[in-house]
Structure 1
Amino acid sequence: MSAELDLQAYLRRVGLVAAPTADLAGLRALHLAHATSIPFENLDIQMGLPIRIDLASIQAKLVQRRRGGYCFEQNTLFLAVLKALGFDVFSGEARVRLGTTDLLPRTHMLLIVQLEGRPWLCDVGFGGRGLLHPVPMDGEAHRQFLDTMRVVEEGRLRVLQSLNQGAWEDLYAFEPEPHTSVDYEMANHYTSTYPESRFIKTLTAQLPSPEVRRILRNRSYAEIRGDQVEGRELAREEVVPMLRDVFGLEVPEGATFRGLND
Protein backbone atom coordinates (compact mmCIF):
# COMPACT_ATOMS: atom_id res chain seq x y z
CA MET A 1 0.00 0.00 0.00
CA SER A 2 2.80 2.41 -0.90
CA ALA A 3 0.50 4.64 -2.97
CA GLU A 4 -0.94 7.68 -1.25
CA LEU A 5 -4.57 7.44 -0.25
CA ASP A 6 -6.83 10.17 -1.61
CA LEU A 7 -9.05 10.32 1.46
CA GLN A 8 -11.24 13.18 0.24
CA ALA A 9 -12.01 11.39 -3.03
CA TYR A 10 -12.87 8.26 -1.08
CA LEU A 11 -15.20 10.14 1.25
CA ARG A 12 -17.01 11.63 -1.75
CA ARG A 13 -17.31 8.13 -3.25
CA VAL A 14 -19.08 6.79 -0.15
CA GLY A 15 -21.22 9.89 0.36
CA LEU A 16 -19.61 11.35 3.49
CA VAL A 17 -18.98 15.08 3.76
CA ALA A 18 -16.33 14.77 6.49
CA ALA A 19 -13.96 12.16 7.84
CA PRO A 20 -15.45 10.19 10.75
CA THR A 21 -13.74 10.25 14.13
CA ALA A 22 -11.65 7.23 15.17
CA ASP A 23 -14.25 5.86 17.59
CA LEU A 24 -17.08 3.34 17.44
CA ALA A 25 -19.61 5.81 16.07
CA GLY A 26 -17.18 6.82 13.34
CA LEU A 27 -16.34 3.21 12.50
CA ARG A 28 -20.00 2.26 12.22
CA ALA A 29 -20.78 5.25 10.00
CA LEU A 30 -17.82 4.60 7.72
CA HIS A 31 -18.49 0.86 7.45
CA LEU A 32 -22.13 1.40 6.53
CA ALA A 33 -21.31 4.13 4.01
CA HIS A 34 -18.75 1.98 2.21
CA ALA A 35 -20.83 -1.20 2.22
CA THR A 36 -23.88 0.54 0.77
CA SER A 37 -22.05 2.70 -1.78
CA ILE A 38 -19.43 0.51 -3.48
CA PRO A 39 -20.93 -2.64 -5.05
CA PHE A 40 -19.46 -6.09 -4.62
CA GLU A 41 -18.81 -7.25 -8.20
CA ASN A 42 -16.53 -9.33 -10.41
CA LEU A 43 -17.06 -7.82 -13.86
CA ASP A 44 -13.34 -7.64 -14.68
CA ILE A 45 -12.82 -11.33 -13.89
CA GLN A 46 -15.82 -12.16 -16.05
CA MET A 47 -14.37 -10.12 -18.91
CA GLY A 48 -10.98 -11.84 -18.62
CA LEU A 49 -9.19 -8.83 -17.12
CA PRO A 50 -6.63 -9.06 -14.30
CA ILE A 51 -7.48 -8.01 -10.75
CA ARG A 52 -4.77 -5.74 -9.35
CA ILE A 53 -4.82 -5.22 -5.61
CA ASP A 54 -2.22 -2.48 -5.12
CA LEU A 55 -3.79 0.64 -3.62
CA ALA A 56 -3.23 2.83 -6.69
CA SER A 57 -5.05 0.38 -8.97
CA ILE A 58 -7.86 -0.09 -6.47
CA GLN A 59 -8.41 3.65 -6.07
CA ALA A 60 -8.41 4.13 -9.84
CA LYS A 61 -11.10 1.47 -10.22
CA LEU A 62 -13.34 1.78 -7.15
CA VAL A 63 -13.02 5.50 -6.44
CA GLN A 64 -12.18 7.31 -9.66
CA ARG A 65 -14.06 5.04 -12.09
CA ARG A 66 -16.82 4.37 -9.52
CA ARG A 67 -16.71 0.64 -10.07
CA GLY A 68 -16.98 -2.06 -7.43
CA GLY A 69 -14.83 -5.03 -6.55
CA TYR A 70 -14.49 -8.08 -4.37
CA CYS A 71 -12.87 -8.68 -0.99
CA PHE A 72 -9.20 -8.07 -1.82
CA GLU A 73 -10.04 -4.78 -3.50
CA GLN A 74 -12.74 -3.58 -1.10
CA ASN A 75 -10.99 -4.43 2.15
CA THR A 76 -7.55 -3.26 0.98
CA LEU A 77 -9.11 0.14 0.30
CA PHE A 78 -11.00 0.12 3.60
CA LEU A 79 -7.84 -0.88 5.47
CA ALA A 80 -5.98 2.11 4.03
CA VAL A 81 -8.83 4.43 5.03
CA LEU A 82 -9.02 3.07 8.58
CA LYS A 83 -5.28 3.48 9.05
CA ALA A 84 -5.39 7.02 7.67
CA LEU A 85 -8.09 7.91 10.19
CA GLY A 86 -6.11 6.52 13.11
CA PHE A 87 -7.84 3.20 13.80
CA ASP A 88 -5.87 0.27 15.26
CA VAL A 89 -6.52 -2.30 12.52
CA PHE A 90 -4.99 -5.36 10.88
CA SER A 91 -6.07 -7.64 8.06
CA GLY A 92 -6.72 -11.39 8.17
CA GLU A 93 -7.70 -14.29 5.94
CA ALA A 94 -10.70 -16.59 6.10
CA ARG A 95 -11.96 -19.85 4.67
CA VAL A 96 -15.43 -19.36 3.23
CA ARG A 97 -18.01 -21.90 4.38
CA LEU A 98 -21.52 -20.82 3.32
CA GLY A 99 -23.07 -24.06 4.51
CA THR A 100 -20.40 -26.48 3.25
CA THR A 101 -18.40 -28.77 5.52
CA ASP A 102 -15.57 -29.02 2.96
CA LEU A 103 -12.26 -27.45 3.95
CA LEU A 104 -11.77 -24.66 1.43
CA PRO A 105 -8.63 -22.53 0.86
CA ARG A 106 -8.17 -19.14 2.49
CA THR A 107 -9.64 -16.93 -0.20
CA HIS A 108 -11.27 -14.14 1.78
CA MET A 109 -9.79 -10.99 3.27
CA LEU A 110 -11.23 -9.41 6.43
CA LEU A 111 -10.27 -6.69 8.89
CA ILE A 112 -10.10 -6.60 12.69
CA VAL A 113 -10.19 -3.31 14.57
CA GLN A 114 -9.20 -2.99 18.23
CA LEU A 115 -11.60 -0.53 19.80
CA GLU A 116 -13.02 0.07 23.26
CA GLY A 117 -10.86 -2.71 24.66
CA ARG A 118 -12.04 -5.49 22.36
CA PRO A 119 -11.78 -6.67 18.75
CA TRP A 120 -14.37 -5.82 16.12
CA LEU A 121 -14.76 -7.69 12.83
CA CYS A 122 -15.01 -5.32 9.87
CA ASP A 123 -15.69 -6.54 6.34
CA VAL A 124 -17.00 -4.48 3.42
CA GLY A 125 -16.09 -7.11 0.81
CA PHE A 126 -17.99 -10.32 1.46
CA GLY A 127 -21.22 -9.96 -0.50
CA GLY A 128 -24.23 -12.17 0.24
CA ARG A 129 -25.29 -11.65 3.84
CA GLY A 130 -22.14 -9.72 4.68
CA LEU A 131 -21.76 -7.08 7.36
CA LEU A 132 -23.26 -3.61 7.18
CA HIS A 133 -21.81 -2.62 10.54
CA PRO A 134 -18.72 -3.92 12.36
CA VAL A 135 -19.59 -6.68 14.80
CA PRO A 136 -17.85 -7.32 18.16
CA MET A 137 -16.17 -10.71 18.40
CA ASP A 138 -17.96 -11.62 21.62
CA GLY A 139 -20.13 -14.59 20.64
CA GLU A 140 -23.32 -12.59 21.12
CA ALA A 141 -26.04 -12.01 18.52
CA HIS A 142 -26.09 -8.50 17.07
CA ARG A 143 -28.95 -7.13 15.01
CA GLN A 144 -27.96 -5.24 11.84
CA PHE A 145 -31.11 -3.82 10.31
CA LEU A 146 -32.85 -6.88 8.77
CA ASP A 147 -30.07 -9.34 9.64
CA THR A 148 -28.60 -10.82 12.81
CA MET A 149 -24.88 -11.65 12.99
CA ARG A 150 -22.42 -13.06 15.49
CA VAL A 151 -18.79 -14.17 15.74
CA VAL A 152 -18.33 -17.38 17.76
CA GLU A 153 -15.30 -19.34 18.91
CA GLU A 154 -14.39 -22.71 17.41
CA GLY A 155 -11.14 -23.73 19.02
CA ARG A 156 -8.48 -21.37 17.65
CA LEU A 157 -10.90 -20.18 14.99
CA ARG A 158 -13.53 -17.48 14.97
CA VAL A 159 -16.61 -18.04 12.82
CA LEU A 160 -18.85 -15.34 11.38
CA GLN A 161 -22.45 -16.53 11.36
CA SER A 162 -25.72 -15.14 10.05
CA LEU A 163 -29.17 -16.04 11.35
CA ASN A 164 -31.04 -17.49 8.37
CA GLN A 165 -34.58 -18.88 8.63
CA GLY A 166 -34.14 -19.31 12.39
CA ALA A 167 -30.83 -21.20 12.17
CA TRP A 168 -27.23 -19.99 12.37
CA GLU A 169 -25.33 -20.34 9.10
CA ASP A 170 -21.53 -20.25 8.96
CA LEU A 171 -20.29 -17.60 6.53
CA TYR A 172 -16.55 -18.00 7.05
CA ALA A 173 -13.93 -19.08 9.60
CA PHE A 174 -10.64 -17.37 10.44
CA GLU A 175 -7.81 -17.18 12.95
CA PRO A 176 -7.71 -13.69 14.50
CA GLU A 177 -4.13 -12.93 13.51
CA PRO A 178 -2.49 -10.58 11.00
CA HIS A 179 -1.71 -11.56 7.42
CA THR A 180 0.34 -9.70 4.84
CA SER A 181 -0.18 -8.44 1.31
CA VAL A 182 1.76 -11.35 -0.20
CA ASP A 183 -0.90 -13.73 1.19
CA TYR A 184 -3.58 -11.77 -0.61
CA GLU A 185 -1.61 -11.66 -3.87
CA MET A 186 -1.56 -15.45 -3.97
CA ALA A 187 -5.20 -15.83 -2.92
CA ASN A 188 -6.31 -13.16 -5.39
CA HIS A 189 -4.51 -14.89 -8.25
CA TYR A 190 -6.13 -18.21 -7.36
CA THR A 191 -9.60 -16.75 -6.90
CA SER A 192 -9.56 -14.69 -10.09
CA THR A 193 -7.92 -17.23 -12.46
CA TYR A 194 -8.56 -20.80 -11.24
CA PRO A 195 -11.05 -22.37 -13.71
CA GLU A 196 -13.21 -23.82 -10.91
CA SER A 197 -13.39 -20.57 -8.94
CA ARG A 198 -16.92 -19.34 -8.32
CA PHE A 199 -15.82 -15.94 -9.61
CA ILE A 200 -14.80 -17.46 -12.94
CA LYS A 201 -18.04 -19.40 -13.25
CA THR A 202 -20.49 -16.81 -11.99
CA LEU A 203 -21.06 -13.17 -12.87
CA THR A 204 -22.14 -11.30 -9.77
CA ALA A 205 -23.05 -7.82 -8.64
CA GLN A 206 -24.37 -7.13 -5.16
CA LEU A 207 -25.36 -3.99 -3.28
CA PRO A 208 -26.88 -4.01 0.21
CA SER A 209 -28.82 -1.32 2.02
CA PRO A 210 -30.52 -1.29 5.41
CA GLU A 211 -33.82 -2.14 3.70
CA VAL A 212 -32.85 -4.64 0.99
CA ARG A 213 -29.93 -6.62 -0.43
CA ARG A 214 -29.87 -6.68 -4.23
CA ILE A 215 -27.97 -9.61 -5.73
CA LEU A 216 -27.34 -10.63 -9.34
CA ARG A 217 -25.74 -14.00 -10.09
CA ASN A 218 -25.46 -14.65 -13.82
CA ARG A 219 -29.07 -14.06 -14.90
CA SER A 220 -30.70 -14.65 -11.49
CA TYR A 221 -31.71 -11.43 -9.73
CA ALA A 222 -32.94 -11.36 -6.13
CA GLU A 223 -34.00 -8.79 -3.57
CA ILE A 224 -33.55 -10.04 -0.01
CA ARG A 225 -35.30 -8.48 2.97
CA GLY A 226 -34.33 -10.50 6.01
CA ASP A 227 -35.80 -13.96 5.43
CA GLN A 228 -37.99 -12.72 2.55
CA VAL A 229 -36.60 -13.31 -0.94
CA GLU A 230 -38.09 -12.08 -4.19
CA GLY A 231 -36.42 -12.74 -7.50
CA ARG A 232 -36.63 -13.65 -11.13
CA GLU A 233 -34.55 -14.92 -14.03
CA LEU A 234 -33.45 -12.18 -16.39
CA ALA A 235 -33.32 -12.39 -20.15
CA ARG A 236 -29.75 -12.10 -21.40
CA GLU A 237 -30.41 -8.63 -22.83
CA GLU A 238 -31.55 -7.40 -19.39
CA VAL A 239 -28.24 -8.09 -17.64
CA VAL A 240 -26.19 -5.08 -18.78
CA PRO A 241 -29.03 -2.57 -18.17
CA MET A 242 -29.46 -4.12 -14.71
CA LEU A 243 -25.75 -3.68 -13.94
CA ARG A 244 -25.91 -0.05 -15.04
CA ASP A 245 -29.28 1.04 -13.63
CA VAL A 246 -29.60 -0.97 -10.40
CA PHE A 247 -25.96 -1.35 -9.38
CA GLY A 248 -24.64 1.88 -10.91
CA LEU A 249 -21.77 0.14 -12.70
CA GLU A 250 -20.08 1.38 -15.84
CA VAL A 251 -20.18 -1.54 -18.29
CA PRO A 252 -18.18 -1.26 -21.53
CA GLU A 253 -20.13 -1.46 -24.76
CA GLY A 254 -20.03 -4.98 -26.18
CA ALA A 255 -18.89 -6.52 -22.88
CA THR A 256 -19.18 -10.31 -22.68
CA PHE A 257 -19.15 -12.29 -19.46
CA ARG A 258 -17.89 -15.83 -18.89
CA GLY A 259 -20.81 -16.75 -16.65
CA LEU A 260 -23.32 -16.01 -19.40
CA ASN A 261 -21.72 -18.28 -22.00
CA ASP A 262 -24.37 -20.97 -21.74
Structure 2
Amino acid sequence: MAIETACTLRMGREQYAGKARLEAEHIDFSGGMKFRFRFSEIRNPARANGNLTFNFHGHFVQLDLGGREEKWLESILHPKTLSEKLGVRPGHFVRLINVEDSVLTAQLAERKARIVGKDKSVACDVIVFAVERPAELRQLATLIDDLRPDGMIWVLLPKSSKTVTHANVAAAARQAGLSETQSISYSEAHSAHKIMIAPGKRRAVRSGNGKATPETGSHVATAGAGSGIRRASRKST
Protein backbone atom coordinates (compact mmCIF):
# COMPACT_ATOMS: atom_id res chain seq x y z
CA MET A 1 0.00 0.00 0.00
CA ALA A 2 1.17 3.53 -0.70
CA ILE A 3 2.43 5.68 2.16
CA GLU A 4 1.90 9.45 2.17
CA THR A 5 3.43 12.04 4.47
CA ALA A 6 4.04 15.77 4.74
CA CYS A 7 7.42 16.59 3.29
CA THR A 8 9.86 19.36 2.45
CA LEU A 9 11.72 18.86 -0.82
CA ARG A 10 14.98 20.61 -1.64
CA MET A 11 16.50 20.47 -5.10
CA GLY A 12 19.43 22.75 -5.74
CA ARG A 13 18.41 26.21 -4.54
CA GLU A 14 14.70 25.43 -4.72
CA GLN A 15 12.60 24.35 -1.75
CA TYR A 16 8.98 23.16 -1.73
CA ALA A 17 6.59 22.15 1.05
CA GLY A 18 4.03 19.53 0.17
CA LYS A 19 3.30 15.82 0.36
CA ALA A 20 5.40 12.85 -0.69
CA ARG A 21 3.83 9.52 -1.57
CA LEU A 22 5.83 6.29 -1.53
CA GLU A 23 4.62 3.82 -4.16
CA ALA A 24 5.96 0.39 -5.09
CA GLU A 25 8.26 1.74 -7.81
CA HIS A 26 8.50 5.50 -7.33
CA ILE A 27 8.05 8.51 -5.05
CA ASP A 28 5.56 11.19 -6.01
CA PHE A 29 5.84 14.72 -4.66
CA SER A 30 3.15 17.41 -4.96
CA GLY A 31 3.27 20.94 -3.58
CA GLY A 32 4.11 24.00 -5.63
CA MET A 33 5.72 21.67 -8.15
CA LYS A 34 5.07 18.02 -8.95
CA PHE A 35 7.81 15.44 -9.31
CA ARG A 36 7.97 11.69 -9.83
CA PHE A 37 11.17 9.97 -8.77
CA ARG A 38 11.32 6.46 -10.21
CA PHE A 39 13.49 4.08 -8.20
CA SER A 40 15.16 2.91 -11.40
CA GLU A 41 16.34 6.49 -12.06
CA ILE A 42 17.50 7.30 -8.52
CA ARG A 43 21.23 7.22 -7.87
CA ASN A 44 23.18 7.12 -4.59
CA PRO A 45 20.21 7.07 -2.17
CA ALA A 46 21.22 7.65 1.45
CA ARG A 47 20.22 9.08 4.84
CA ALA A 48 21.89 12.35 5.77
CA ASN A 49 21.06 14.71 8.63
CA GLY A 50 17.59 13.24 9.01
CA ASN A 51 16.79 13.50 5.30
CA LEU A 52 16.47 11.07 2.44
CA THR A 53 18.95 12.16 -0.21
CA PHE A 54 19.68 11.00 -3.75
CA ASN A 55 20.77 12.12 -7.19
CA PHE A 56 18.14 12.34 -9.88
CA HIS A 57 19.12 13.17 -13.46
CA GLY A 58 22.00 15.34 -12.31
CA HIS A 59 20.10 17.03 -9.47
CA PHE A 60 20.80 16.52 -5.78
CA VAL A 61 17.50 15.95 -3.99
CA GLN A 62 16.74 16.09 -0.26
CA LEU A 63 13.44 14.97 1.24
CA ASP A 64 12.67 15.84 4.85
CA LEU A 65 10.21 13.07 5.74
CA GLY A 66 9.89 13.74 9.45
CA GLY A 67 11.86 10.72 10.64
CA ARG A 68 10.52 8.22 8.09
CA GLU A 69 13.57 8.29 5.84
CA GLU A 70 14.90 4.86 6.90
CA LYS A 71 11.80 2.98 5.71
CA TRP A 72 11.71 4.92 2.45
CA LEU A 73 15.41 4.29 1.83
CA GLU A 74 14.85 0.57 2.36
CA SER A 75 12.07 0.62 -0.23
CA ILE A 76 14.40 2.23 -2.77
CA LEU A 77 17.33 -0.09 -2.07
CA HIS A 78 15.23 -3.26 -1.87
CA PRO A 79 12.02 -2.78 -3.88
CA LYS A 80 9.42 -5.50 -3.69
CA THR A 81 9.39 -8.17 -6.36
CA LEU A 82 6.37 -8.46 -8.63
CA SER A 83 5.02 -11.48 -6.75
CA GLU A 84 5.37 -9.60 -3.45
CA LYS A 85 3.51 -6.60 -4.88
CA LEU A 86 0.71 -8.97 -5.87
CA GLY A 87 0.51 -10.25 -2.29
CA VAL A 88 1.56 -13.82 -3.12
CA ARG A 89 2.74 -15.82 -0.12
CA PRO A 90 4.40 -19.25 0.14
CA GLY A 91 1.82 -21.97 -0.38
CA HIS A 92 -0.68 -19.71 -2.16
CA PHE A 93 -2.71 -21.15 -5.03
CA VAL A 94 -2.45 -18.84 -8.05
CA ARG A 95 -4.33 -18.88 -11.37
CA LEU A 96 -3.07 -16.95 -14.40
CA ILE A 97 -5.63 -16.04 -17.07
CA ASN A 98 -4.48 -14.54 -20.39
CA VAL A 99 -1.05 -13.91 -18.86
CA GLU A 100 2.33 -14.89 -20.28
CA ASP A 101 5.06 -13.72 -17.93
CA SER A 102 8.21 -15.74 -17.35
CA VAL A 103 9.39 -13.31 -14.66
CA LEU A 104 6.22 -13.78 -12.62
CA THR A 105 6.11 -17.56 -12.99
CA ALA A 106 9.76 -17.80 -11.89
CA GLN A 107 9.04 -15.66 -8.83
CA LEU A 108 5.99 -17.76 -7.97
CA ALA A 109 8.19 -20.86 -8.04
CA GLU A 110 10.76 -19.15 -5.79
CA ARG A 111 8.02 -18.27 -3.29
CA LYS A 112 6.73 -21.86 -3.44
CA ALA A 113 3.33 -20.74 -4.65
CA ARG A 114 1.33 -23.25 -6.67
CA ILE A 115 0.07 -22.37 -10.14
CA VAL A 116 -3.39 -23.79 -10.66
CA GLY A 117 -4.19 -25.07 -14.12
CA LYS A 118 -7.65 -25.93 -15.40
CA ASP A 119 -8.77 -27.65 -12.20
CA LYS A 120 -11.81 -25.65 -11.10
CA SER A 121 -12.12 -27.53 -7.80
CA VAL A 122 -9.36 -25.52 -6.14
CA ALA A 123 -10.11 -22.21 -4.42
CA CYS A 124 -7.43 -19.70 -5.39
CA ASP A 125 -5.68 -17.19 -3.17
CA VAL A 126 -4.69 -15.00 -6.12
CA ILE A 127 -6.04 -14.76 -9.67
CA VAL A 128 -4.17 -12.64 -12.22
CA PHE A 129 -6.54 -11.81 -15.08
CA ALA A 130 -5.48 -9.79 -18.14
CA VAL A 131 -8.19 -8.11 -20.22
CA GLU A 132 -8.26 -6.05 -23.41
CA ARG A 133 -12.00 -5.48 -23.87
CA PRO A 134 -14.71 -4.34 -21.43
CA ALA A 135 -16.84 -7.41 -22.22
CA GLU A 136 -14.18 -9.67 -20.73
CA LEU A 137 -14.77 -8.07 -17.33
CA ARG A 138 -18.08 -9.93 -17.13
CA GLN A 139 -15.99 -12.94 -16.10
CA LEU A 140 -15.42 -11.33 -12.70
CA ALA A 141 -18.84 -12.57 -11.58
CA THR A 142 -17.85 -16.19 -12.28
CA LEU A 143 -14.27 -15.86 -11.00
CA ILE A 144 -15.72 -15.33 -7.51
CA ASP A 145 -16.49 -19.05 -7.53
CA ASP A 146 -12.79 -19.82 -8.01
CA LEU A 147 -11.63 -17.54 -5.18
CA ARG A 148 -11.04 -18.08 -1.49
CA PRO A 149 -13.13 -15.74 0.67
CA ASP A 150 -10.07 -13.63 1.50
CA GLY A 151 -8.48 -14.08 -1.93
CA MET A 152 -7.80 -11.40 -4.51
CA ILE A 153 -8.18 -10.87 -8.24
CA TRP A 154 -5.67 -8.66 -10.02
CA VAL A 155 -7.08 -7.28 -13.27
CA LEU A 156 -4.32 -6.31 -15.72
CA LEU A 157 -5.02 -3.51 -18.20
CA PRO A 158 -2.84 -2.12 -20.99
CA LYS A 159 -1.80 1.35 -19.87
CA SER A 160 -2.18 2.73 -23.37
CA SER A 161 -5.68 1.33 -23.88
CA LYS A 162 -8.64 3.63 -24.41
CA THR A 163 -10.92 0.65 -25.03
CA VAL A 164 -10.87 -0.71 -21.50
CA THR A 165 -10.09 1.56 -18.55
CA HIS A 166 -9.83 1.67 -14.79
CA ALA A 167 -13.39 3.02 -14.71
CA ASN A 168 -14.57 -0.12 -16.53
CA VAL A 169 -12.87 -2.28 -13.92
CA ALA A 170 -14.41 -0.38 -11.02
CA ALA A 171 -17.89 -0.59 -12.56
CA ALA A 172 -17.57 -4.31 -13.31
CA ALA A 173 -16.36 -4.99 -9.77
CA ARG A 174 -19.34 -3.19 -8.27
CA GLN A 175 -21.73 -5.05 -10.55
CA ALA A 176 -20.21 -8.38 -9.45
CA GLY A 177 -20.49 -7.40 -5.78
CA LEU A 178 -16.74 -7.02 -5.41
CA SER A 179 -14.60 -4.21 -4.00
CA GLU A 180 -11.69 -2.60 -5.84
CA THR A 181 -9.06 -1.84 -3.22
CA GLN A 182 -5.75 -0.93 -4.87
CA SER A 183 -4.00 -0.14 -8.15
CA ILE A 184 -0.32 -0.66 -8.93
CA SER A 185 2.01 -0.57 -11.91
CA TYR A 186 2.45 -4.17 -13.03
CA SER A 187 4.95 -3.37 -15.77
CA GLU A 188 5.84 -0.67 -18.26
CA ALA A 189 2.89 -1.79 -20.38
CA HIS A 190 0.26 -2.87 -17.85
CA SER A 191 -1.40 -1.60 -14.68
CA ALA A 192 -2.95 -3.98 -12.12
CA HIS A 193 -6.15 -3.39 -10.17
CA LYS A 194 -6.88 -5.40 -7.04
CA ILE A 195 -10.40 -6.77 -6.58
CA MET A 196 -11.63 -8.58 -3.47
CA ILE A 197 -14.85 -9.96 -2.04
CA ALA A 198 -16.33 -7.41 0.36
CA PRO A 199 -15.76 -8.47 4.00
CA GLY A 200 -19.49 -8.67 4.71
CA LYS A 201 -19.99 -11.17 1.88
CA ARG A 202 -17.09 -13.50 2.66
CA ARG A 203 -19.03 -15.75 5.03
CA ALA A 204 -21.57 -16.59 2.31
CA VAL A 205 -18.81 -17.37 -0.17
CA ARG A 206 -16.98 -19.49 2.39
CA SER A 207 -20.00 -21.70 2.92
CA GLY A 208 -21.17 -21.67 -0.67
CA ASN A 209 -18.41 -22.44 -3.14
CA GLY A 210 -17.52 -25.91 -1.82
CA LYS A 211 -14.01 -25.83 -3.28
CA ALA A 212 -10.84 -27.40 -1.98
CA THR A 213 -8.45 -25.02 -0.24
CA PRO A 214 -4.69 -25.18 0.43
CA GLU A 215 -5.50 -26.52 3.88
CA THR A 216 -8.06 -29.12 2.82
CA GLY A 217 -7.53 -29.97 -0.83
CA SER A 218 -4.81 -31.40 -3.03
CA HIS A 219 -6.25 -30.78 -6.50
CA VAL A 220 -3.56 -28.61 -8.01
CA ALA A 221 -1.30 -28.33 -11.01
CA THR A 222 2.18 -27.32 -9.88
CA ALA A 223 3.58 -26.72 -13.35
CA GLY A 224 2.48 -24.63 -16.29
CA ALA A 225 0.15 -21.67 -16.27
CA GLY A 226 -2.75 -23.61 -17.60
CA SER A 227 -5.66 -21.32 -18.07
CA GLY A 228 -5.61 -19.96 -21.61
CA ILE A 229 -2.47 -17.84 -21.30
CA ARG A 230 -2.07 -15.64 -24.32
CA ARG A 231 -1.86 -11.89 -24.07
CA ALA A 232 -0.27 -9.93 -21.26
CA SER A 233 3.48 -10.30 -21.37
CA ARG A 234 5.68 -8.23 -19.08
CA LYS A 235 8.60 -6.06 -20.10
CA SER A 236 11.23 -5.56 -17.46
CA THR A 237 10.96 -2.28 -15.55
Q: Above 0.5 in TM-score?
A: no
TM-score for both structures, normalised by structure 2: 0.25
TM-score for both structures, normalised by structure 1: 0.24
Q: Which has the higher strand share?
A: 2
Q: Which has the higher helix share?
A: 1
